Structure 1
Amino acid sequence: MRSYYKIGEISKIYNIGRDSLMYYEELGLLSPIRDSNNYRLYTMKDIWKLNLIKELRTFDFSMEKIKEYINDRTIMNTMEMLKEEADLIDKKIEELAKLKSNIFKRMENINEATEGIKLDEIKLMHLKERKALKLNGEIRRDEEVDYLIKKLQKKHEDKFYLLGNTQVGAIYDLEKLHMGVYNEYKSVFSLLDPKGSGYNLVLKEGLYISISYKGPYSSNKKYMDKLFAFIKDNGYEILSEPIEIYKIDIHETSIVDEFITEIQILVKT
C-alpha cells in the first residue's frame, strides 16, 4: 500500500476541491508533507482524518466541532457524536415527510383545479377571512405579474411554493377597470394557511361573486364585464378591488388554453 497521495489524487477520490483541502490544512486538520518539488503529499494519517471530515460535513457539523472531535476522540465522544448524527437524521426524515405531504397537497390542488371547478358560471359564495403575502407594484403585462410573483416567492421562500400553488393571484386596479383597462394590477399575492403568520394582507370575510375561465388572461375582459353586469342587475355594491387567482398557470403548463383563472369580487347586497 502506498504511504502517500498527491493533492490531485485526494481531490478526485474524495470529490473535495483543492481549495477545501488547503483550507483544512490551514485549520490544522490535515498536515501533508512536502516532496522535493514542494508538492503536498497526504499520508495515511490525513486519510483517516478526511474520512471523518467527509462524513461529519454531510451532517453540517461545524469545522470547529469536527476539529475538536478529531483532536479528542474517545469511545464516549464517538457514541455522543453518533447519537447526534442519528438525531440529525431523524430531523431530516421529519422535514422530508413534511415536504412529501406538501407535494401531495399540491397535486391534489391541481386535480381540484382541473376537475372540480365549474367554468364560465357565476357563483355566489361566502368566504372567511383569508391571510396572504402581498407585494405591491404597477403591473401592466402578464409577464410583470409572473415576475412579481417570483419576487414575492423569493422574499418569502419559506412560506410558499410556485409549482402546484393554486392560491397565487393579483389584485386589480378597480378605477382602471371602470375606465376600460383590464390589464393593470396593484399587487400580487399568495394566500396562506389560515394559521399562517407573517402575512401583510387580509382579504375580508364576506360575500363574493366569482367566475372561473379557461384560456389566456386576455379573456378576462369578457368575464369581468359579465360579473359587472351581474352586480348591476342585482343591485350589489362592490366593496373592494377584484382579485384573480391563478388556479393553473405558466408554472404548471406551457399550453395557454389549459390556464384556469378565477376572478373574485367582494360585494354587499
Structure 2
Amino acid sequence: MKQYYKIGEISEIYGIGKDSLMYYEELGIIKPDRGENGYRLYNIKDVWKLNLIKELRNFDISMKRIKEYLEDRSIETTKQILQEEMKLTNEKIQELTANKNNIIKRLKSIDVVVSDLELNKIQVVHINLRKALKLNASISNEGEADCIIKRLQKQYGDKIYILGNGNIGVVYDEDKFDKIGDLKYNAAFSLVDDDESEYNMILDEGNYVTTAYKGAFDEDKKHIQYMMRYIKQNKYKIVGNIIKICKINIHETSVKEEHITEIQIPVRKIDDFKEQLN
C-alpha cells in the first residue's frame, strides 16, 4: 500500500477539488508533508481524515464542527456528533413536512375554487366569523391592490402567502356604496386560520349576499349593481363592509378568463334590523 499520495491523486480518489484540500489544510484539519520538489504528500493519517470529512460533509456538518470532532474523537464524541445531526435532520423533516402540508393546502384551495364555487349566481350565504390581517390604504385599481398585498406580506411574513391563497381580498369604501361607479377600495386583507392569534380585522358572522364571477378583476361594479338590486328587492339592509376576495388571480394564471372573484355583502332583513333597534 502506498504511504503517500499527491494532491492530484487524492482529489481524484475522493472527488474533492484541490481548492477544498488546500482549504482543509488552511483550517489545520490535514497537514500534508512536502516532497523534495515542494509537492504536497498526503499520508495514511490524512486519508482516514478525508474519509471522515467527506462522510460528515454529506451530513452537512460545518467544517468548524468537523475540526472540533477530529481533534477530540471518542465513542462518546462520535455518538454526540451523530446525535447532533439527528436533531438537525428531524428539524429539517419537520420543516419539509410543514412545506408539504402548505403545498397540499394551496392545491386544495385552487381545486375547491375551480370545481365547487358556483358562478354568476346571487345568493344569501351564512358565513362564520373570520379573522384577517388588514392594511389600510387608498386603492383604485388592481395594480395598486397587488402592491398593497405585497406590503401586507412583507409586514406579516410567512403568515401570508400569495400562490394558491384564495383568501386575499380588498375592502370597499363604504362612503361610496350609493355611487357604484365611484367605488374604490380602502384596505387590502388576507383571511387567516381560525386559531390564529395575530389579526387586526374581524368579519362578523352572519348572512352575506354573495356572487362569484370569472373574468377581469375590475368587472366588479356591474356585479355589485346586480347584487344591490337583489338586496333591495329582497328587503335586506347592508350592515357592514362590502369585500371582494380574489379566489384565482394573476398569480395563478395569466389567462384573465380563468380569474375568479367573489363579492360578499353582509346583510340583514330590514324587519330584523328594525326589531333589533327597538
Same fold (TM over 0.5): yes
1:212-267 CA-partner distances (Å, limit 9, x unpaired): 01101221111111112222223322222211111111111110011110001112
One-letter amino acid of the structure 2 residue matched with residue 258 of structure 1: E
Measured after TM superposition, the shift of residue 65 of structure 1 is: 4.2
* Structure 2 residue aligned with 1:54: 57
Equivalences, count: 260
Scaled by the length of structure 1, the TM-score of the pair is 0.79
1:173 touches 1:186 (CA, 8 Å); kept in 2? yes
Measured after TM superposition, the shift of residue 190 of structure 1 is: 1.2
* Structure 1 residue aligned with 2:120: 120
Decide which moves more: 190-199 or 62-71.
62-71
* Structure 1 residue aligned with 2:252: 252
1:207 touches 1:267 (CA, 8 Å); kept in 2? yes
Structure showing greater radius of gyration is: 2
* Structure 2 residue aligned with 1:139: 139
* Structure 1 residue aligned with 2:241: 241
Measured after TM superposition, the shift of residue 29 of structure 1 is: 5.5
One-letter amino acid of the structure 2 residue matched with residue 243 of structure 1: I
2:213 touches 2:262 (CA, 8 Å); kept in 1? yes
Separation (CA, whole Å) in 1 of partners of 2:204 and 2:153: 23
Measured after TM superposition, the shift of residue 149 of structure 1 is: 1.6
Separation (CA, whole Å) in 2 of partners of 1:25 and 1:179: 76
* Structure 1 residue aligned with 2:104: 104
1:182 touches 1:220 (CA, 8 Å); kept in 2? no
Scaled by the length of structure 2, the TM-score of the pair is 0.77
Separation (CA, whole Å) in 1 of partners of 2:166 and 2:18: 42
Separation (CA, whole Å) in 2 of partners of 1:42 and 1:243: 73
* Structure 2 residue aligned with 1:208: 208
1:182 touches 1:221 (CA, 8 Å); kept in 2? no
One-letter amino acid of the structure 1 residue matched with residue 193 of structure 2: D
Equivalent positions of 1:1-269 (< 5 A) are 3=5, 5=7, 45=46, 47=50, 50-51=53-54, 54-56=57-59, 58=60, 65-181=65-181, 184-269=184-269
Separation (CA, whole Å) in 2 of partners of 1:141 and 1:231: 26
1:41–1:198 distance in 2 versus 1, CA, 3 Å: farther
Measured after TM superposition, the shift of residue 194 of structure 1 is: 0.8
1:247 touches 1:262 (CA, 8 Å); kept in 2? yes
1:31 touches 1:42 (CA, 8 Å); kept in 2? no
Separation (CA, whole Å) in 2 of partners of 1:248 and 1:42: 63
* Structure 1 residue aligned with 2:273: none
Give the superposed CA RMSD.
3.5
Decide which moves more: 166-175 or 252-261.
166-175
1:122 touches 1:210 (CA, 8 Å); kept in 2? yes
One-letter amino acid of the structure 2 residue matched with residue 204 of structure 1: D
Measured after TM superposition, the shift of residue 183 of structure 1 is: 5.7
1:120–1:47 distance in 2 versus 1, CA, 3 Å: same
The runs of 5 or more residues in structure 1 that have no matched partner are none
Measured after TM superposition, the shift of residue 51 of structure 1 is: 2.9
One-letter amino acid of the structure 2 residue matched with residue 75 of structure 1: I
Measured after TM superposition, the shift of residue 106 of structure 1 is: 1.8
2:180 touches 2:225 (CA, 8 Å); kept in 1? no
Separation (CA, whole Å) in 2 of partners of 1:16 and 1:218: 60
Separation (CA, whole Å) in 2 of partners of 1:14 and 1:137: 55
1:31–1:181 distance in 2 versus 1, CA, 3 Å: farther
1:74–1:241 distance in 2 versus 1, CA, 3 Å: same
Measured after TM superposition, the shift of residue 200 of structure 1 is: 1.9
Give 3-state SS (helix, strand or coil) of 1:156's partner: helix
1:134 touches 1:190 (CA, 8 Å); kept in 2? yes
